[in-house]
Amino acid sequence: MLLSTAPAIAAPSQAMAAPAAEQQRAVTLVTGDQVFVQGSTSRSVRPAKGREGTAFRTFTLDDHVYVIPADAERLVATGAVDRRLFDVTTLLDLGYDDAHSTALPLIVSHPAGQMIGQSHIAPASVTRELRSIDAVAISADKRQTGAVWDALTKGDGVRTLEGSVTRVWLDGKRRAVLDRSVKQIGAPAAWAAGLTGAGVKVAVLDTGVDQTHPDLADREIAERNFSDSADNVDRVGHGTHVASTVGGTGAASGGRYRGVAYGASILDGKVLDDYGSGPDSSIIAGMEWAAEQGADIVNMSLGGYDTPGLDPMEEAVNRLSQKYGTLFVIAAGNSGPAGETVASPGSAAAALTVGAVDRDDVLAEFSSRGPTIGDGAIKPDVTAPGVGIVAAAHAGGTIGEPVEEGYTRLSGTSMATPHVAGAAALLAQKHPDWTGERLKAVLSGSASPHPKATAFEQGAGRIAVAAALTGTVISEPVSLGLGTQRWPYDAQEPITRTLTYRNLGDSPVTLALSVDATAPDGTPAEAFSLSATTVTVPASGQAQVTVTGDARRGTADGVYSGAVLATAGDSVTRTPIAIHREPESYDLTLAYLDENGAPTPEYAGVLLGLDSSYAGFPYDADGTVTTRLPKGRYLVDGTVYTHAGNRANLIVHPDVVLDRDLSFTMDSRIGKPVNVVPPASARLELGDIGYAIQSRTRLFGSGLLIDDLNVLTVAQLGRPHKGDILTGKVNTQWAGAGGETYGLAWFPAGTVPAGFTKTVLKRDLATVHAEFGTTTKGHIGRRSVSPFPASGTAFVWSLLSDVPLPGARTEHYSTDDTIWTGFVNQADTDGGIHATWTAPAQTYRAGHRYTSRYIDAVYGPGAAASKNATLALRRDDTISIDLPMFTDGNGNAGFSRTERATTTLSYNGKLVGEIAAPASGTFENLPPEPGVYRLATSVVRADAFDLSTRIDAEWTFRSAHVGGDQPAALDVIFLRFLPRLEADDSAKAGRVQLVPLHLQDQRGATLRPKRLTAEVSYDEGKTWRQVPIVPAQMAKLSHPKNASTVSLRASATDADGNTVKETVIRAYKLRP
């Protein structure tokens, strides 16, 4: 079974909009199943060999598409297998598609002290041993991932992990996220005291460090390359900038841009590649190396999205910190201003996590905020300058804004983090016996807060080196999260925690204790109290105080936060505190029953807020799971598997109004079958059964992919809210006799398809004679058609089936308020995709016959007919383009595999951007003023093609800043060559040939040219001759008898002055 998916949102006004055509990309899952992706409009699933008939649960949530095979559901639900391994969007974003990665990288955990045997990972190979987290990194060749899945798991139908495997993770990727700034944190006070970081080892785990820069000469004492790059050279500039801020001497600037701890020794661990990203396992290996090398402090100006629970990176931070006493100083991330955006591994409890402030100590908008996801901990711990930071630039570097020779200006928590690492080095020089935990406590406790920032925004505040050097009192813990006070508050007791003060000095210290706290609205709050107002801490001793949080003293729901202040003279030790006053909330209990009415662990569920951003995957192995949620509306989506995963029961409640404690039984026995009877003897190849729902704030789609309707039932427990749009989906595709196919699809409004029944007669269908040309012998075609609802919302999956090239077949389609679109891939016998052509959307009438044709020359830039202009857009000062460079002679938008491509953008004659892609990409930070833009692209096609082997095109148009929420279409026009050719893309040599020249806009609409010229070459572009333009905008060509190919070049100007010039080498063939 080869399945394809086409998610679509089709409001009535846009129902005929053609989806954007893009080159299809393939992703191999850990199970060996393949997903094929074509932009946002078409995706495909091919079960691995031996897994035919596997059911797949699919859902689209927050723009991420998930494809989970039935046998992996329980492992994913329990967290034993990383959900990201089935998040197709994430795999693509990380570059783990098959075109960019021939292997799938995994991290496999094992019991402590017990290594994984080769038999449990065969045929994968171990790439790294990660002893700090009891795991190995493995590389699974994508041709063998199915076998690796079989080695890691066991069981028929429902899988469990092998005994020596405790968890399987995706080996994800993390990315790289001085002048006045050094003074801002008080570093000169340390310098005046003779502290420079001398004798302290600081590891910089980044993109490498440029040792040739004068500021970093002789600073490095060890280096190691853990990245996928060939060497340790910094080709990004990020690591050099960071290392310079930690410990650069400022030699190239006469000391002006000196780093914080300019006497510290640098350990250079290159864990990010030449593009600024690296896999988790490489970074963990670098962390282990740094700790084993004796690094006192490790700077990690990198991160990635955090998830609930402890991931391998967070676990490595915590374990290495405890084992070696190393302080890991880690960037909070640049995903602010929203809450719960602190990046991993900065989310690790042991990390000293750093946010960014500007020169006035105001929190940077981009700085990530807490609390952390899952445990609600206070993060970041501190802040430091991270806006407009000047530090060393790597040799030949282009990163950032050049300031003067050898220096560049950058912003980010990546820039704030090395300020804190440097400060820690100064402190470590003064106190060489201190552990990283103590360094963290002192730097946090002595920080200077901004009065308008909360604990979850700034932690303790901006670090203050002078105060850290003189302070003698620390608190344990360094921050105190009191958790959540549940609603209703009258039934809740105050929450108390113990705060310990430790005196690092040799004299007793008396502390005056107070609380400075604010309510969620920023006003002063009295939500916290202390058991004492003063406490005396003996020399080298400790004293304790009880902190009580009682949000009942407030009136607003949300987070109350602030700090406990312990004051002794001019010295203040701050301990951030927070308590969450739960809004009106209730318990939602779901009990999953199998077809015998017994509780079952074989289920998967999604719980979605319809008037909030909440999304969760609640699961408990006993079959009953309770979730605490704020009052509101929720969607419950559950799938219960029975008979070892061979039967699936989809149960949906589209509108749970949670205004009291509620319980629902997700009972498989109430499901109703879905039944479709085709008009002739036919075999079901795809059943795509499900629904989509669109509320005011959310869009979600869910369904099951099966090849037998008898294995599925569907149940709906309630009605949708009147303001939500619920659209059911029954999408079936069948193989009939003689190669005929049937696409039968319906989208019932307001309901999921429980009990849907349809008997189809042939007179109800439209018939399409589909013809397929070819550009290369030996290739096969893959045909996909996708139904869209004329109104409502749907995420639709479709069959992707092999067709001969050249060849033809007869296709039958249902017509009830359904829009169909299709594409054809040209692929090799191993499945590698070389080109894709996507047709405009089409509606059909019952009883009518139609013809469609794909893959005919001339292949060149062109737009498929559409009501929407989406190929070249501008929003604010960013231009995004995705131009089909190989649209065929039938108007099917085309993309092709290429050997090399370059695209440039110029503004008023000045180059403003360049990308190595065929007319696809984004150009940012463009001048806002009106001007003339020139977009040019040059594309050399892969060797598999013998026509349109090279295309050069350029466009000119005017553009300026575009305000508002919606992008504006650019005046990019296309010039298409439309000669009448034989089926083999040839014309007769020695004859006159008329070539229509068709000018069109982004929507495929015809334009009348103001100026039009054309040229022809018969030696593949070495020489050109101009040809006449005859009436009806046709170029008149006189083909020589001895020529074998025709190359074309033409230019046009429209009525508004926009221009296009296109050159197609080997546009079509000539036959004798």
Instruction: Specify the pLDDT at position 3.
Output: 42
- Other Cβ atoms within 10 Å of 507 Cβ, number: 10
Strand-strand pairing, 277-279 and 297-300: unpaired
Per-residue pLDDT of 782-826, as tens digits, reads 999 999 898 888 888 888 889 999 999 999 999 988 999 889 988
Per-residue pLDDT of 979-1004, as tens digits, reads 999 999 999 999 999 999 999 999 88
pLDDT band at 105 (very low <50, low <70, confident <90, very high): very high
CB 574 within 8 A of CB 447: yes
Q: What whole-number distance in Å separates Cα of residue 557 and Cα of residue 461?
A: 24
Strand-strand pairing, 968-969 and 872-875: antiparallel
pLDDT band at 832 (very low <50, low <70, confident <90, very high): confident
Instruction: Specify the pLDDT at position 181.
Output: 62
CB 865 within 8 A of CB 821: no
- The residue that leads in pLDDT, 26 or 138, is 138
Give strand pairing partners of 197: none
Percent of the chain with pLDDT over 70: 96
Mean pLDDT of the region 497-523? 95
Per-residue pLDDT of 318-328, as tens digits, reads 999 999 999 99
Closest of 156, 181, 251, 595 to residue 415, by C-alpha: 181
Most confident of 162-166, 692-696, 974-978: 974-978
Per-residue pLDDT of 723-748, as tens digits, reads 899 999 999 999 998 899 999 999 99
Report the mean per-residue pLDDT for the chain: 92
H helix or E strand, kind and range, residue 315: helix 312-324
Percent of the chain with pLDDT over 90: 79
Q: What whole-number distance in Å separates Cα of residue 14 and Cα of residue 1000?
A: 20
pLDDT band at 185 (very low <50, low <70, confident <90, very high): confident
SS3 category, 823? strand
pLDDT band at 778 (very low <50, low <70, confident <90, very high): confident
Instruction: Specify the pLDDT at position 6.
Output: 39
CB 926 within 8 A of CB 912: yes
Residue 8 has pLDDT above 50, yes or no: no
Residue 455 has pLDDT above 90, yes or no: yes
Instruction: Specify the pLDDT at position 780.
Output: 86
pLDDT band at 1 (very low <50, low <70, confident <90, very high): very low
Q: What whole-number distance in Å separates Cα of residue 1000 and Cα of residue 974?
A: 5
Residue 580 has pLDDT above 80, yes or no: yes
951-954, Cβ contacts within 8 angstroms, sequence gap of 24 or more: 951/860, 951/861, 951/885, 951/886, 951/1062, 951/1063, 951/1064, 951/1065, 952/1062, 952/1063, 953/860, 953/861, 953/885, 953/919, 953/1060, 953/1061, 953/1062, 953/1063, 954/1060, 954/1061
pLDDT band at 69 (very low <50, low <70, confident <90, very high): very high
Instruction: Specify the pLDDT at position 867.
Output: 73
Q: Any idea of the CA torsion for 424, 429, 435, 437, to the nearest 10 degrees?
A: -20
pLDDT band at 716 (very low <50, low <70, confident <90, very high): very high
Per-residue pLDDT of 437-446, as tens digits, reads 999 999 999 9
Residue 11 has pLDDT above 70, yes or no: no
Residue 46 has pLDDT above 90, yes or no: no
Side chain identity at 261, as an amino acid letter? A
Residue 579 has pLDDT above 80, yes or no: yes
Instruction: Specify the pLDDT at position 942.
Output: 82
Instruction: Specify the pLDDT at position 432.
Output: 97
Closest of 167, 29, 173, 30 to residue 108, by C-alpha: 167
Residue 226 has pLDDT above 50, yes or no: yes
Per-residue pLDDT of 375-430, as tens digits, reads 899 999 999 999 999 999 998 766 888 888 999 999 999 999 999 999 999 999 99
Domains by residue range for the chain, with CATH: 3-59+585-748+763-839 (no CATH), 175-431 (3.40.50.200), 480-485+488-581 (2.60.40.2310), 872-1071 (no CATH)
Instruction: Specify the pLDDT at position 22.
Output: 56
- List, by residue number, the catalytic residues: 206, 238, 414
Q: What whole-number distance in Å separates Cα of residue 649 and Cα of residue 672?
A: 9
Mean pLDDT of the region 504-522? 94
Residue 2 has pLDDT above 60, yes or no: no
Residue 10 has pLDDT above 50, yes or no: no
User: For tokens 């037998």, what's the residue?
Assistant: 708
Residue 472 has pLDDT above 90, yes or no: yes
Side chain identity at 206, as an amino acid letter? D
Q: How many alpha carbons lie under 13 Å from residue 54 in its C-beta half-sphere? A: 27
